[in-house]
C-alpha cells in the first residue's frame, strides 16, 4: 500500500526502434513526469522530439553503471511526492534493463508503482519466430564464461518450453555454436535482429545452420534468439510394457536384441538398464 504523501513510480515501455510504436500514454507520462530516469538521455531527447513532447521533468541518467548509486536519490524524490518515470533504450524497464532495483526499493518503501506497457523484444521475437508460443521462458543474456554457459545450456537441454535469449553481436556466433552442441544441430531456432527498425531481419533454421551463418555473415544490432523447446519422449511414456513392446517390434522386424535395446533406450530417453529390466520383468 502506498503512503498518502508519496509520489508514483511509472515504468514506461519504450519503442524498440520505431517511434510510432510508442503509445499515447507513454507520451502523456513523459509530458507529466516530474523526474525522468533514462537509460540514455540522448536517446530520450530524440524520442521526445519524435513524439512532439515537451518534458517539464528533471531528466537524469539511470543505467547499469549508476543504478545502485541513484536509486536512493530517486526514492527520496518519490517520498517528496514526485512522479518519477523510468524509461530504457527499448522495451520495459527491469527486463534485462535498469529498473528492477528501483522497483524493489519503491515496493519495500510502500510507494505506488505502475506501468505504461509497451513494446517487448521478448514477445515480438517469440511471435515472429514461428515457434510454439503457448509456454516459454525468458533466459536473458547467456553467461559470458564458457563453463557457466555450457552448464546453463545443459540444464535447459530438455526444457520443453520455447526459450528466448538476448545476445550481443560480438558473442552471437559462439553462443549459437554452444547451443547447437547442447541442444542439437537441428533444434529449430530464430535469430531476430533490429526488431521494428529499418533493417529488421529474422533468420530461421536449425541451430547448426544459424551458427554457420553467424560465423560467415555476423549479424549486427540488437539480437533476440528464440529456441524451440525439447520435443523428446515423455518419461511417463516409458512404462515397462511400452519398452518391452518396442523391443519386441524391432526384433520382429529383424533387429538383434542388443541393437533393439539401444534404439529403444534412445527413443524413450532412458538408460539401457531400464530397458533390460523391463524385458526381464515383463517376459520373465
Burial of 146 (0-12, 13-18, 19+ CB in 10 A): exposed
C-alpha cell of residue 210: 544459424
Tell me: pLDDT of 4 over 60: no
Tell me: pLDDT of 165 over 90: yes
Closest to 120 (Cα-Cα) out of 110, 132, 128: 128
Mean pLDDT of 63-74: 94
Give the dihedral sign, CA 73/79/80/83.
positive
Q: What are phi and psi of 170, to 5 degrees?
A: -70, -30
Say if residues 136 and 162 touch (Cβ distance below 8 Å). Answer: yes
pLDDT tens column, 232-241: 777 677 888 8
pLDDT tens column, 215-266: 999 999 999 999 999 987 776 778 888 899 989 989 898 899 999 998 888 8
3-class DSSP state for residue 115? Answer: strand
Which position has the higher pLDDT, 93 or 268?
Answer: 93
- 519503491: which residue's cell? 106
- pTM (2 decimals)? 0.81
pLDDT tens column, 11-33: 999 999 999 999 999 999 999 99
Closest to 82 (Cα-Cα) out of 38, 12, 28, 34: 34
* Dist CA 194 CA 224 (whole Å): 9
Predicted confidence band at 108 (pLDDT cuts at 50, 70, 90)?
A: very high
Percent of the chain topping pLDDT 90: 82
* Dist CA 188 CA 211 (whole Å): 12
Mean pLDDT of 92-103: 94
Predicted confidence band at 2 (pLDDT cuts at 50, 70, 90)?
A: very low
Amino acid at each position: 500500500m502506498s503512503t498518502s504523501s508519496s509520489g508514483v513510480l511509472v515504468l514506461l515501455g519504450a519503442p524498440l526502434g520505431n517511434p510510432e510504436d510508442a503509445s499515447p500514454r507513454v507520451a502523456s507520462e513523459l509530458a507529466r513526469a516530474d523526474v525522468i530516469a533514462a537509460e540514455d538521455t540522448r536517446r530520450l531527447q530524440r524520442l521526445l522530439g519524435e513524439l512532439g513532447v515537451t518534458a517539464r521533468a528533471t531528466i537524469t541518467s539511470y543505467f547499469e553503471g549508476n543504478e545502485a548509486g541513484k536509486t536512493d536519490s530517486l526514492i527520496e524524490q518519490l517520498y517528496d511526492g514526485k512522479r518519477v518515470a523510468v524509461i530504457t533504450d527499448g522495451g520495459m524497464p527491469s527486463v534485462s534493463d535498469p529498473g528492477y532495483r528501483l522497483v524493489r526499493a519503491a515496493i519495500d518503501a510502500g510507494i505506488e508503482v505502475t506501468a505504461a506497457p509497451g513494446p517487448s523484444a521478448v514477445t515480438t521475437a517469440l511471435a515472429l519466430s514461428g515457434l510454439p508460443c503457448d509456454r516459454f521462458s525468458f533466459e536473458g543474456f547467456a553467461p559470458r564464461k564458457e563453463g557457466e554457459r555450457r552448464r546453463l545450456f545443459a540444464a535447459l537441454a530438455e526444457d520443453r518450453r520455447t526459450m528466448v535469449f538476448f545476445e550481443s553481436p560480438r558473442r552471437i556466433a559462439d553462443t549459437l555454436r554452444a547451443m547447437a552442441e547442447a541442444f542439437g544441430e537441428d533444434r529449430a531456432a530464430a535469430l531476430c535482429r533490429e526488431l521494428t527498425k529499418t533493417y529488421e531481419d529474422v533468420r530461421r533454421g536449425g541451430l547448426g545452420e544459424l551458427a554457420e551463418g553467424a560465423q560467415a555473415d555476423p549479424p549486427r544490432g540488437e539480437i533476440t534468439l528464440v529456441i524451440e523447446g525439447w520435443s523428446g519422449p515423455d518419461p511417463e511414456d516409458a512404462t515397462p510394457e511400452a519398452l518391452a513392446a518396442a523391443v519386441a517390434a524391432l526384433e520382429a522386424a529383424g533387429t538383434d536384441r542388443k541393437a533393439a535395446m539401444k534404439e529403444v533406450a534412445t527413443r524413450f530417453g532412458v538408460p539401457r538398464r531400464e530397458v533390460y529390466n523391463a524385458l526381464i520383468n515383463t517376459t520373465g
